[in-house]
Amino acid sequence: MMNELKSTLEQAFEELAPLSESQILSQCFSVLEQMPMAMSVSDLDANFMFVNKRFAEITGYSQKDLIGKNHSLLSYKTTPKEVYQALWACISSGGNWNGRLVNRKKSGQRYLAELSITGLKNKQGAITHYVSVHQDISERHQQHTKAANQKLMVEAVLNTAPVAIALLDQSQQVVLDNLSYKTLRSDFNDEPVSIALEQLKGNNSSDGAFNEGQTFNVEVGKGKRKRWFSCCLSSVNINGTEVDDYFVPKLSRYLVITLSEVSKERRRQAQQQLSELRRSTEESEALHSMQEALHAAIHQIQGPINMIDSALQMFCGGANNCARTAAMQAGLEAGHAAIAQLESALPRKPHEPTQSLNINQLVHEVTELSSDRLLNRSITMQLSLNGTLPSLTGQPSRLRVALKQLIDNAIEAIDYGKKTRREIVCSTQLVDEEIEITVEDSGPGIKKELQLKVFEPFYSTKPSNNSGCRGVGLSIVQQVVSEHSGTVQYLSTSLGGCKARIVLPLRRRKRGE
């Protein structure tokens, strides 16, 4: 605008050249007086030669007050001297200066003036006057500064928040975030909202609606522990800034997402759940072991009793009283009494209702339960799980005990075998409407003729003096698998040891089928 005005005035000077200088200035001043912005013309010493009405309104001085006075009348001490030096260096060399000065009105009130100053030249190219456009931008400066300060304060509040916060536009691009969010972006090596929205979409219906307070988990970096976040979403409508939106505002929906880390709480809960699983599993194992031990004891006592009973039948025939066999008769009665006492001492299996089970989840839980033993013995556990397995109806605690027995047996076999390769592979797959679970180890293996005998109570392939040998684990597996209408067997494996293979039908067979 200043360049156009300068060109207009210089052209006016040329057109009015036949007139005297005072007549020319009078004509130019008449034009400037009609301008809606504050205008002034000064001589080379910055003395006012003309100010229009708008200029007088801004400064509070009348036009008469200013004519003949120097521009320094409006100057205020808070404007640095260097600004004035730069101003004069620019306009005296023929340049256009644009800048801001702190000026003072007649009332003493300070205001921020935005000026554009340029020199007017005659035909010889010499500067004869300076013309300036003058605006009071104090209110605009205050509003801009207030907005900038509010932005700084909002950012300061957001940056002290312990949660990650981000504002997304309609294209789901981050337009505002806080320090916690920036830290997450660095940790994830990715945009956190991209990960969050992707997982939230997977947990929501196809209409794309999000529920507030949803949780999701992400794994930060390769091999690192998982971190959990509580995700909260809300929306805000922003008015459009285009000219066409003035009378009928166009609303844009922005999304506010907050990510609050709950990893410690989730790990604490997971640890509590694991401790409870370990306790209940140990109780079930102890119950099974006690049942097997008592059954075995009854079995062991029943043999001699049967022999005594047979001998009595031989010696006494059908007679109820035989003096020579009184001691044997007393022993027989004592034996029956002992068996009755043992049977009454048998612990009863607690009732557990059947429910829909995720076999892969059970495998993960048992792996967690055995993690300390695996780590202490430097044994690696590999999982090869079919992620599309259907649900199975069964008793979770019973199957968990059976799986743990197989893994514990594999650990003991590897430990006993002293093999260099120390590895267990657990896999799941669906075969002909049956779920197959296998546990393979790199232990010494089991001879083919013993692959059925190992499921008998108190039988073990290890020497009887081996402290880790209990001899009841596999009989427990056999019992649990039978309860679920399944089968279990030992096979050879490429790992060098043996493979325990459990097959569980998706539909449990009823008795008699």
* Judgement on whether residues 370 and 340 belong to the same structural domain of the protein: no
Using CA atoms, how far residue 231 sits from 175, 210, 228, in Å, is: 18, 10, 10
CATH assignment of the domain containing 251: 3.30.450
pLDDT at residue 140, as a whole number: 92
pLDDT at residue 188, as a whole number: 81
* Judgement on whether residues 499 and 361 belong to the same structural domain of the protein: yes
pLDDT tier at 504, thresholds 50, 70, 90: very high
Output DSSP code: residue 129. Answer: E
* Judgement on whether residues 366 and 487 belong to the same structural domain of the protein: yes
If residue 143 lies in a helix (H) or strand (E), which one and from where to where? helix 138-160
Which tokens belong to 278? Answer: 């370990």
pLDDT at residue 205, as a whole number: 46
110-121 β-sheet, strand order: 48-51, 38-42, 127-136, 110-121, 97-104
Range of the domain at 318: 275-345
Q: Cβ contacts of residue 124 below 8 Å, gap of 6+?
A: none
Q: Is the pLDDT of residue 88 over 70?
A: yes
Which region among 81-95, 197-211, 332-346 has the lowest average model confidence (pLDDT)?
197-211
Contact 229, 147 (CB under 8 A): no
Q: Do the domain assignments include residue 266?
A: no
Mean pLDDT across the stretch 115-132?
Answer: 88
Last residue of some domain: 229, 261, 293? Answer: 261
With a pLDDT cut of 90, the percent of the chain lying above it is 26
Mean pLDDT across the stretch 62-75?
Answer: 93
* Judgement on whether residues 421 and 495 belong to the same structural domain of the protein: yes
CA-based R_g, the chain, Å: 47
Output DSSP code: residue 498. Answer: E
Q: How far apart are CA 269 and CA 272, in angstroms?
A: 5
Q: How far apart are CA 382 and CA 440, in angstroms?
A: 10
Q: Do the domain assignments include residue 350?
A: no
Better-predicted residue by pLDDT, 2 or 41: 41
Contact 498, 413 (CB under 8 A): yes
CATH assignment of the domain containing 432: 3.30.565.10
Last residue of some domain: 345, 380, 403? Answer: 345
pLDDT tier at 371, thresholds 50, 70, 90: confident
Better-predicted residue by pLDDT, 446 or 395: 395
pLDDT at residue 15, as a whole number: 52
* Judgement on whether residues 153 and 286 belong to the same structural domain of the protein: no
Contact 363, 439 (CB under 8 A): no
Q: How far apart are CA 45 and CA 11, in angstroms?
A: 23
Q: Cβ contacts of residue 254 below 8 Å, gap of 6+?
A: 167, 168, 169, 170, 175, 235, 236, 237, 238
Q: Do the domain assignments include residue 382?
A: yes
* Judgement on whether residues 328 and 247 belong to the same structural domain of the protein: no
pLDDT at residue 87, as a whole number: 94
* Judgement on whether residues 28 and 81 belong to the same structural domain of the protein: yes
With a pLDDT cut of 70, the percent of the chain lying above it is 80
Q: Do the domain assignments include residue 513?
A: no
pLDDT tier at 461, thresholds 50, 70, 90: low
* Judgement on whether residues 183 and 314 belong to the same structural domain of the protein: no
* Judgement on whether residues 476 and 369 belong to the same structural domain of the protein: yes
pLDDT at residue 243, as a whole number: 77
pLDDT at residue 402, as a whole number: 87
Contact 335, 304 (CB under 8 A): yes
Q: Cβ contacts of residue 151 below 8 Å, gap of 6+?
A: none
* Judgement on whether residues 398 and 289 belong to the same structural domain of the protein: no
Where is mean pLDDT largest: 31-35, 100-104, 285-289? 100-104
* Judgement on whether residues 314 and 436 belong to the same structural domain of the protein: no
Q: Do the domain assignments include residue 27?
A: yes
Which region among 125-139, 208-222, 379-393 has the lowest average model confidence (pLDDT)?
208-222
* Judgement on whether residues 132 and 12 belong to the same structural domain of the protein: yes
333-353 burial, b if ≥16 CB within 10 A, otherwise e?
eebeeebeebeeeeeeeeeee
pLDDT at residue 60, as a whole number: 94
CATH assignment of the domain containing 50: 3.30.450.20
The distance from CA 123 to its chain's CA centroid, rounded to whole angstroms, is: 73
SS (H, E, C) 468-483: CCCCCHHHHHHHHHHH
At 203, the amino acid letter reads N
Q: What share of the chain is helix, strand, coil (3-state, %, to 5)?
A: 45, 25, 30
Mean pLDDT across the stretch 421-444?
Answer: 90
State pLDDT tens for residues 467-501. 444 444 577 788 888 888 999 888 888 888 888 89
State the distance between the two ends of the chain, measured CA to CA, in whole angstroms.
98
Q: Is the pLDDT of residue 322 over 70?
A: no
Q: Is the pLDDT of residue 459 over 60?
A: no
Q: Do the domain assignments include residue 419?
A: yes
Q: How far apart are CA 426 and CA 385, in angstroms?
A: 8
Q: How far apart are CA 228 and CA 266, in angstroms?
A: 7
Query: Pairing mode, if any, of strands 423-431 and 380-384?
Result: parallel
State pLDDT tens for residues 227-281. 888 888 888 888 887 777 778 888 888 888 888 888 888 778 878 887 888 887 7
Which tokens belong to 474? Answer: 């596999």
E strand intervals along 262-334: none
pLDDT at residue 19, as a whole number: 47
Q: How far apart are CA 123 and CA 241, in angstroms?
A: 47
pLDDT at residue 470, as a whole number: 44
Better-predicted residue by pLDDT, 465 or 141: 141
pLDDT at residue 206, as a whole number: 43
Q: Do the domain assignments include residue 444?
A: yes
Angle at 468 between CA 466 and CA 473, to 5 degrees: 120
Structurally, how many domains does the chain consist of?
4
pTM above 0.75, yes or no: no
Last residue of some domain: 261, 286, 321? Answer: 261
Q: Do the domain assignments include residue 510?
A: no
pLDDT at residue 207, as a whole number: 46
State pLDDT tens for residues 141-183. 999 999 899 888 888 888 888 889 999 988 889 988 999 999 8
